[in-house]
Amino acid sequence: MTDEPLLRVTALSKYYGSRIGCEDISFDLWPGEVLAIVGESGSGKTTLLNCLSTRLLPTSGTASYRMRDGQWRDLYRMSEAERRFLMRTDWGFVHQNPADGLRMTVSAGANVGERLMAVGDRHYGNIRATAVDWLGRVEIDEARIDDEPRAFSGGMRQRLQIARNLVTGPRLVFMDEPTGGLDVSVQARLLDLLRGLVTDLGLAAIVVTHDLAVARLLSQRMMVMKDGHVVEAGLTDRVLDDPRAPYTQLLVSSILQV
């Protein structure tokens, strides 16, 4: 682990008029660390994720990111060009619905290659070879490279979305319910794949999920949100094995045992 965090969030708040989206959120995220944000619908976890990923501007507070050159930058003071560049190179965003993160009408290969072309890769052969490699890493048969994601199953689409995000070697990936809407068996495979990729690539990730099992499997650290506030935070197994806040205890006790 390096001595400096990757992302520093201080007193971040987002209000929708007088309604609280999320309020006074502060935390640091270190390289290679996976943070799970859990909570029920409406708890503000997605608002927080969207603020962190600069898809939404917070009402107040700051978020600083350590760029690849080591410089700290205030995310909300960067120009839009810089932010968009960051989002397609050093960051990834995995949507719950793969159709939101994929181009459904272009081939799987082009979906993976788009980021490479966006940063100036102009060699078709290399782009395609990289796409083949990444399809393999997310367990999609190379023979499907020229198929459109429309012809893919939900699990395959989600894996393609992951490959599309990881091809530029990002250091930070945001995930919004990455396993939501998938069959349990498909979920397990995806989680396992994600877990492997996160470990192998040393990715830092912020994963929003309402599924505590997902949090347990993927994250080292978690924050529990309710009504826009963080009610409990800490090591994932500490929070899950010894929940302190009333709401966390309710969440943990609500898990169905199989």
State the residues that interact with another protein by CB under 8 A. Answer: 1, 30, 33, 80-81, 84, 88, 103, 105-107, 109-110, 113-119, 122-125, 127-128, 145-146, 188-189, 191-192, 195, 199, 217, 220-221, 234-235, 237-238, 241-242, 244-246, 249-250, 253
Cβ closest to another protein, residue 69 vs residue 80:
80
At closest approach, how far in Å is the CB of 93 from another protein?
Answer: 15
Residue type, 65: Y
At closest approach, how far in Å is the CB of 18 from another protein?
Answer: 29
At closest approach, how far in Å is the CB of 81 from another protein?
Answer: 5
At closest approach, how far in Å is the CB of 230 from another protein?
Answer: 14
CB atoms within 10 A of CB 217: 17
Cβ closest to another protein, residue 73 vs residue 195:
195
Tokens of 82: 């810089």
At closest approach, how far in Å is the CB of 115 from another protein?
Answer: 7
C-alpha to C-alpha distances, 193 to 159, 183, 186, 218, 254, nearest whole angstrom: 9, 15, 11, 10, 27
Tokens of 199: 């470990």
Cβ closest to another protein, residue 21 vs residue 155:
155
Cβ closest to another protein, residue 21 vs residue 138:
138
At closest approach, how far in Å is the CB of 19 from another protein?
Answer: 26
Please choose, from the candidates 52, 10, 11, 8, the residue with its C-alpha nearest in 3D space to the C-alpha of residue 30.
8
Cβ closest to another protein, residue 99 vs residue 235:
235
Cβ closest to another protein, residue 18 vs residue 200:
200
At closest approach, how far in Å is the CB of 67 from another protein?
Answer: 18
Please choose, from the candidates 71, 75, 23, the residue with its C-alpha nearest in 3D space to the C-alpha of residue 47.
23
Cβ closest to another protein, residue 127 vs residue 212:
127
